[in-house]
């Protein structure tokens, strides 16, 4: 997967991961992919719901050593 | 700018007094749809934080001249939301401390009534999750039934009322919440009782309680009545011939579901027999005190949840399904989703799974979902 931008939101509490994701997405073109790294557990359901409601696509996500990584493609 | 905060205890008082309360829930809509705050006069509006700050039209839907309580999952986003609303000119905004997680843990003790034997019975209402537990007090001795995980509330109450808690009973092996019975028994040097049919896989020592057993608490009496169906061990407790603690077998507006241990088919017959035969032989005047409530409409003016057995036989749909086949279908088909982490919660209650507090809080989020209507 070709990631166009990486957002480090580690250590940030809700709602900052989603606020920062939103800002980062604004600077991307449709079809480009953003990688979001967060340590906030709640981010998983929040980001999933948010991508769904905004027309973006959650391509993949993973958890490694308490870091959650999400790959979101701009819609 | 400092955001004004409100504790779950203060919000709970308002809900129990049936005050008008406006809640702005800023969690994502999926989470909101699954589980939210409820109250007779509680209005809840959902606006995910990211939408709130973008769609000005949402602000027009908020009351300008009365209190707005913002809530989220853990209490961070709600603070941000409150800050944002203050910037937008809203004056009476409060963020609920600890969010839905804290709301799920709040317990309010409410006196249900006196006991013939000279004591009292209290219902501990877990507003956020719909769990009900009970404390029976007589001559300074106490028993707690279906104890929740938040032991401090019971301990503090006992201390304030000069009660020595000696008996901890569970009506069955719970699947929707973590039992505090064993932990409180260990802490206070009391005895933990569980029906033996639910205790086969238990990983610790307990005292079995079975049909016909009697436990004395001061001058009051707890009598066990075997009433299987939600689980194979489910046992009800009759207190001083006045109160019937039904556990998860019979609720005010619904009945227990037989499937949470994966044995719906096997247990439907037991459930039917309990509800349509065993309970029918009991005195209709008994006040039914269940282990859950499902909706805020079940709540009485004083915040407690109860109804006489003979009234339930007239009003509760689940007690009025005359055809056995229809009953079987009702309780085993089209069931609501199972409670969050119900399998892990059962393992914890059996002493087989060790978890820390944060994991336990996480597992218990969400509604209880132990009933079928």
Range of the domain at B184: 107-364
Residues for chain B: how many in total? 373
Helix, coil or strand: residue B142? strand
- Domain shared by B116 and B69, yes or no: no
Q: Would you say residue B54 lies in a domain?
A: yes
**CATH code of residue B20:** 3.40.250.10
> Distance from A15 to chain B by nearest Cα, in Å?
5
- Domain shared by B279 and B245, yes or no: yes
Does the beta-carbon distance from B50 to A45 stay under 8 Å? no
Q: For each of the domains in chain A, give its residue range(s) and CATH number, in order of start.
A: 5-73 (3.30.110.40)
Evaluate whether A25 touches A34 at the Cβ level (below 8 Å). yes
Q: So what's the ipTM on this one? A: 0.78
- B window 287-316, beta carbon within 8 A of A: none
Please tell me which of the candidates B30, B80, B362 has its beta carbon nearest to residue A15: B80
- Domain shared by B83 and B228, yes or no: no
Residues on chain B touching A18 (C-beta within 8 angstroms): 49-50
Domain count, chain B: 2
The C-alpha angle with vertex B101 and arms to B100 and B105, in degrees rounded to 5, equals 105
Q: Would you say residue B372 lies in a domain?
A: no
Residue B154 reports pLDDT greater than 90: yes
Whole-number average pLDDT of chain B = 94
Residue in chain A lying closest to B51 (CA): A50
Task: Kindly report, residue by residue over B61-90, the tens digit of the pLDDT.
Answer: 999 999 999 999 999 999 999 999 999 999
- Domain shared by B19 and B66, yes or no: yes
What gap in Å lies between CA B62 and CA B112, rounded to an integer? 37
- Domain shared by B57 and B168, yes or no: no
**pTM of the predicted protein model:** 0.91
Please tell me which of the candidates B30, B51, B73 has its beta carbon nearest to residue A14: B73
Q: Would you say residue B13 lies in a domain?
A: yes
Does the beta-carbon distance from B48 to A42 stay under 8 Å? no
- Domain shared by B88 and B151, yes or no: no
Tens digit of each residue's pLDDT, chain A (75 residues) = 899 999 999 999 888 999 999 999 999 999 999 999 999 888 888 898 889 888 999 999 999 998 999 999 999
What gap in Å lies between CA B178 and CA B51, rounded to an integer? 35
Q: Would you say residue B371 lies in a domain?
A: no
- Domain shared by B340 and B230, yes or no: yes
Beta strands in chain B (DSSP E): 4-6, 21-25, 42-46, 68-71, 93-96, 107-114, 120-126, 131-138, 141-145, 164-169, 191-194, 207-208, 214-217, 220-226, 235-239, 243-247, 255-256, 287-290, 307-308, 371-372
Interface test with B, best of A19, A42, A44 (most B CBs within 10 A): A42
- Domain shared by B156 and B213, yes or no: yes
- Domain shared by B171 and B143, yes or no: yes
**CATH code of residue B278:** 3.60.15.10
Residue B290's φ and ψ, nearest 5 degrees, are -85, 175
Range B241-257 average pLDDT? 96
Residues on chain A touching B27 (C-beta within 8 angstroms): 46
- From B102, B121, B151, the end of a domain falls on B102
Catalytic residue among A13, A14, A19, A67: A14
Helical pair B151-160 and B181-188, crossing angle rounded to 10 deg: 50
The C-alpha angle with vertex B336 and arms to B331 and B337, in degrees rounded to 5, equals 125
pLDDT over 90 percentage in chain B: 87
Q: Would you say residue B284 lies in a domain?
A: yes
Interface test with A, best of B76, B83, B359, B366 (most A CBs within 10 A): B76
- Domain shared by B125 and B172, yes or no: yes
Residues of B with catalytic function: 72
Helix, coil or strand: residue B21? strand
**Cα R_g (chain A), whole angstroms:** 11
Residue in chain B lying closest to A13 (CA): B76
Residue B1 reports pLDDT greater than 70: no
> Which residues, at least 6 apart from A27, have a Cβ–Cβ distance to it below 8 Å?
A5
What gap in Å lies between CA B339 and CA B362, rounded to an integer? 12
């Amino acid at each position: 997967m070709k990631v166009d931008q990486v957002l480090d939101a580690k250590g940030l509490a809700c709602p900052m991961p989603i606020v920062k994701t939103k800002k980062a997405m604004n600077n991307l073109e449709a079809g480009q992919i953003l990688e979001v790294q967060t340590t906030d557990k709640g981010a998983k359901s929040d980001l999933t719901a948010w991508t769904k409601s905004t027309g973006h696509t959650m391509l993949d996500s993973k958890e490694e050593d308490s870091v959650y990584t999400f790959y979101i493609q701009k819609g | 700018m400092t955001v004004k905060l409100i504790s779950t205890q203060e919000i709970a008082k308002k809900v129990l007094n049936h005050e008008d309360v406006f809640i702005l829930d800023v969690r994502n809509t999926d989470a909101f749809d699954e589980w939210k705050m409820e109250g007779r006069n509680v209005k809840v509006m959902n606006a995910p934080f990211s939408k709130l700050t973008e769609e000005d039209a949402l602000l027009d839907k908020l009351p300008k001249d009365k209190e707005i309580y913002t809530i989220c999952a853990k209490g961070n986003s709600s603070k941000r939301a409150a800050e944002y609303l203050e910037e937008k000119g809203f004056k009476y905004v409060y963020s609920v401390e600890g969010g839905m997680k804290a709301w799920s843990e709040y317990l309010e003790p409410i006196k249900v009534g006196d006991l013939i034997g000279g004591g009292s019975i209290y219902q501990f209402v877990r507003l956020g999750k719909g769990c009900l537990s009970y404390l029976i007090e007589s001559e300074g001795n106490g028993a707690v039934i279906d104890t929740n995980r938040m032991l401090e509330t019971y301990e503090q109450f006992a201390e304030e009322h000069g009660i020595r808690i000696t008996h901890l009973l569970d009506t069955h092996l719970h699947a929707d919440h973590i039992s505090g019975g064993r932990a409180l028994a260990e802490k206070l040097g009391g005895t933990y009782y569980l029906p033996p049919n639910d205790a086969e896989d238990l990983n610790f020592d307990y005292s079995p309680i079975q049909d016909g057993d009697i436990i004395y608490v001061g001058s009051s009496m707890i009598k066990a009545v075997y009433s299987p169906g939600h689980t194979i061990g489910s046992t009800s407790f009759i207190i001083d011939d006045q109160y019937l603690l039904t556990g998860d077998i019979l609720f005010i507006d619904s009945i227990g579901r037989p499937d949470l241990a994966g044995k719906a088919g096997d247990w439907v017959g037991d459930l039917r027999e309990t509800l349509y035969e065993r309970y029918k032989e009991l005195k209709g005047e008994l006040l039914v005190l269940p282990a859950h409530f499902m909706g805020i409409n079940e709540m009485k003016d004083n915040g407690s949840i109860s109804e006489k057995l003979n009234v339930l036989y007239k009003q509760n749909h689940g007690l009025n399904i005359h055809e056995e086949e229809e009953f079987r279908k009702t309780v085993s088909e089209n069931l609501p989703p199972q409670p969050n982490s119900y399998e892990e919660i059962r393992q914890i209650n059996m002493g087989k799974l060790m978890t820390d507090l944060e994991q336990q809080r996480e597992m218990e989020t969400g509604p209880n979902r132990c009933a079928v209507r």
